[in-house]
Amino acid sequence: MEFFRIKKDIPFMRHALVFNVISALTFVAAVFFLIHKGLHFSVEFTGGTVMELRYDQPANLEKIRHTLETIGYEQPEATGFGTAHDVMLRLPVVKNITPKDASAKVFDALCKAENGGLKQIDTVSAKGEHVVKQSCADASGATELVSLQKVEFVGPQVGDELAQNGLNALVMVVIGVMIYLAVRFEWKFAVAAIIANLHDVVIILGFFAFFQWEFSLTVLAGVLAVLGYSVNESVVIFDRIRENFRKQRKASVHEVIDNAITSTISRTIITHGCTQMMVLSMLFLGGPTLHYFAMALTIGICFGIYSSVFVAAAVAMWLGVKREDLIKPVKPKDETDGAVV
């Protein structure tokens, strides 16, 4: 399906050097910010306490953050999830304070901010276990202002293990993609695609380092998704290049690549346009839980298109890809074959 068809090929490869210089500068800047500033890891990686609260009225997140700041937490993370009444707190590890004491101190401060008093409720869980829940009630004790739904502690060792597993997953994806492209096409295409994909990943991480956006497991999942999404666009272009080498026998490598990219523009607009609409809906309507996940996908989609056209195709061209790499020449028939001696 095509929205339109461009009759004259666009000379993308004529400007490949300029765009790759821009890519190289962007890549270097991203690496600089990663080294200089580093990523702002979430509690899942650094360790800390995660608390889930439920308010009787829609929660005032700014008021909650201000309350946490008054008791010593810098840049506290308070986000809504589910409904406007539900709040999730991510609190970093504080020296000389146990996780249990930290959660009690935080809940006490939030209760006082609501002009309420603490009380404990004895309940029985679905498994038949005795559970003591903390809540904050008004002066009469009849109305529950805030209730503590859940408290979890993530240790630093768990965070280190998650970071190592995430790095291992990234390496395995890169190796798998390289093997797939080398088998399906040719090693020059595999190298070009991996360079383009790593270009996308490092730039995404550079954005998160520069703006100090929270890097969580959800964002890591978005980065891995971008890897697969970006290589898909490269495979489409590489497949069209191989097809053009069969059809356009007299065309140069530049002309073959330009025609391959131009002929896939309509497909690119349809595919990436629809995907981007879904991602933007998560970005603007998905709430804080999906915000940075959608942000990683948005950056990855934009740079994925760019890298597939100006990085992957150009690098393959500079590596010297030619018709003989993809199409085996037909061996001339030996005149002596079938001759009777």
Alpha-carbon span 63 to 83, nearest angstrom: 17
Residue 121, H or E segment: strand 117-124
Per-residue pLDDT at 330: 56
* 303 CB-contact burial (10 Å; exposed 0-12 / middle 13-18 / buried 19+): buried
pLDDT digits 0-9 by tens, 13-66: 898 999 899 999 999 999 999 999 998 888 877 778 889 999 988 999 889 989
pLDDT digits 0-9 by tens, 52-82: 999 988 999 889 989 998 888 877 788 887 7
Per-residue pLDDT at 242: 85
The answer to whether the 12-41+157-324 and 48-154 domains have the same CATH topology is no
Which residues are bridge partners to 173 per DSSP?
none
The CATH number assigned to the domain with range 48-154 reads 3.30.70.3400
Per-residue pLDDT at 315: 92
- β-strands 214-215, 144-154: how paired? unpaired
Per-residue pLDDT at 245: 87
Per-residue pLDDT at 341: 46
- Cα–chain-centroid distance for residue 159? 18
State the CATH class of domain 12-41+157-324: mainly alpha
Here the tokens at position 317 are 């061209």
pTM of the model: 0.79
- β-strands 77-81, 214-215: how paired? unpaired
Q: Which H, E and C letters describe 249-309, residue by residue? A: CCCCHHHHHHHHHHHCHHHHHHHHHHHHHHHHHHHHHCCHHHHHHHHHHHHHHHHHHHHHH
What are the sequence ranges of the domains in the chain? 12-41+157-324, 48-154
Residue 95, H or E segment: none
Per-residue pLDDT at 296: 94
pLDDT below 50 — which residues of the chain? 124, 130, 341
Per-residue pLDDT at 28: 95
Per-residue pLDDT at 277: 93
Please count the other Cβ atoms lying within 10 Å of the Cβ belonging to residue 42.
Answer: 23
Specify the amino acid at residue 48. Answer: G
* 320 CB-contact burial (10 Å; exposed 0-12 / middle 13-18 / buried 19+): exposed
Q: Which residues contact 122 (CB under 8 A, 6 or more apart)?
A: 130, 131, 132
Per-residue pLDDT at 325: 67
Per-residue pLDDT at 124: 47
